[in-house]
Amino acid sequence: MIVWPIEVAESKYSRWYNALITKAQNRTIDGYVEKHHVVPRSFGGKNIKENLVNLTAREHYIAHALLWKMKFPGVYGSKMAFAFNTFINKMTTEVRGVHHTYSISSRVYENFRKKYSSLLKEKYAKEGGTWVGRKHTEESKRKIGEKSKLKEFKRGPENPNWGKKQNVSPEGRAKRLEKINANWADSEFRKRMSEKRKAYFATPAGIAQRKAHSERVKGIPRDPVIIEKTASKKRGKKAHEIFSPQALLNIAEGRKHRVYTPEGRAKLVETARQNGKKSKSEEWKRKMSERMKGIKRQTIACEHCGKECVLSNYNRWHGNKCKQKIDQK
């Protein structure tokens, strides 16, 4: 005798369900079985021996079909419809390496889908049957969070969607980009993300990730396309057009405290010399000429030849290095 927590209307489906459970309780099955809760857990049925029976895969499917047909009142009926829907949408299963298939007739499928659709409309219909204007309760958020923590999210090549192109419409991509830009335009969002990243990269996992990335890209030349894309955003612009005032202050402050080792300083000097020895193209000379036009630089007159020139040329060619001084000797 099944003890239901609610009143169950007498019908042929309830009699068939009782007979199926009674038969299962008085036998032993060799081979594959599926455990079934006599009183469903969504009804308050407990996970105890008295409330569990072993059914074949076909019997398990029939049991849930009968529970749906029994038409329980109120929310209990919808719960049984949701439970039976898992069998409809997951007709092929693999349990402990054994492959099983639940088969249904076209009439049963059509009848169920019609009634299931009506049930969903009655339960969730609001403002066109969508979630617009609706929010999860705090209890539902808590349950969703707890279930999400139990999931094992696969990353990288192990993810089944790895390398697959997302089927997103141009409108969807535009909306996604607009949302991303709006988030990064929010100072609070940027601050929160910056703090989150700093906290992560301070952890052992973050430090290991940075080292691994550094080793991975060491010695690999950057893609010319990426270099040009980055340079095109800065080309022809002054520093104040690229960086914010606060960023410029941070850069200046960082330069004040920059310390070079003797080896590092010698390397910078040698690099500058090698660059100076390289032949310059006419295009480079033209661009430098245009860039320097209108810029007033400090000039100084040579005490030996009287020629006025910029300070860099004076240090290089005049003063104690002036040819007229050498000729006078």
319 pLDDT above the threshold of 80: yes
The fraction of the chain above a pLDDT of 70, given in percent, is: 88
Give the pLDDT confidence score for residue 207 in this predicted structure: 92
Q: Is residue 120 part of a domain?
A: no
What does the angle CA 25 – CA 27 – CA 29 come to, to the nearest 5 degrees?
A: 115
24 pLDDT above the threshold of 80: yes
Q: Is residue 252 part of a domain?
A: no
Q: Is residue 323 part of a domain?
A: yes
129: confidence class by pLDDT, cuts 50, 70, 90 = low
More confident site: 106 or 227: 227
Q: Which domain holds residue 301?
A: 297-329
Give the pLDDT confidence score for residue 166 in this predicted structure: 76
Give the pLDDT confidence score for residue 165 in this predicted structure: 77
- In tens, the pLDDT along 202-212 reads 999 899 999 99
Q: Please state, in angstroms and rounded to a whole number, the distance separating the CA atoms of residues 276 and 312.
A: 14
Q: Is residue 90 part of a domain?
A: yes
Give the pLDDT confidence score for residue 163 in this predicted structure: 79
Domain boundary among 102, 125, 156: 102
Domain boundary among 102, 129, 150: 102
Q: Please state, in angstroms and rounded to a whole number, the distance separating the CA atoms of residues 116 and 120.
A: 6
More confident site: 52 or 154: 52
Give the pLDDT confidence score for residue 173 in this predicted structure: 87
Give the pLDDT confidence score for residue 277 in this predicted structure: 84
More confident site: 204 or 169: 204
Give the pLDDT confidence score for residue 62 in this predicted structure: 86
217: confidence class by pLDDT, cuts 50, 70, 90 = confident
CA atoms within 13 A on the CB side of 22: 8
Q: Is residue 74 part of a domain?
A: yes
95 pLDDT above the threshold of 60: no
Mean pLDDT of 66-87: 84
125 pLDDT above the threshold of 70: no
Q: Which helix (H) or strand (E) holds 133?
A: none
Three-state DSSP at 34 gives strand
79: confidence class by pLDDT, cuts 50, 70, 90 = confident
Q: Burial level of 64, CB count in 10 A (0-12/13-18/19+)?
A: buried
Domain boundary among 102, 121, 142: 102
The sign one gets for the Cα dihedral 13, 14, 19, 22 is: positive
Residues in contact with 71: Cβ distance below 8 Å, sequence separation at least 6, in sequence order: 9, 11, 77
More confident site: 88 or 85: 85
More confident site: 211 or 93: 211
126 pLDDT above the threshold of 60: no
Mean pLDDT of 249-274: 88
Domains: count for the chain: 2
Lowest mean pLDDT among 70-79, 114-123, 147-156, 230-239: 114-123
Q: Is residue 216 part of a domain?
A: no
28 pLDDT above the threshold of 60: yes
Lowest mean pLDDT among 66-70, 101-105, 195-199: 101-105
Q: Is residue 47 part of a domain?
A: yes
298: confidence class by pLDDT, cuts 50, 70, 90 = confident
Per the prediction, the chain carries an average pLDDT of 83
Give the pLDDT confidence score for residue 128 in this predicted structure: 54
Q: Is residue 53 part of a domain?
A: yes
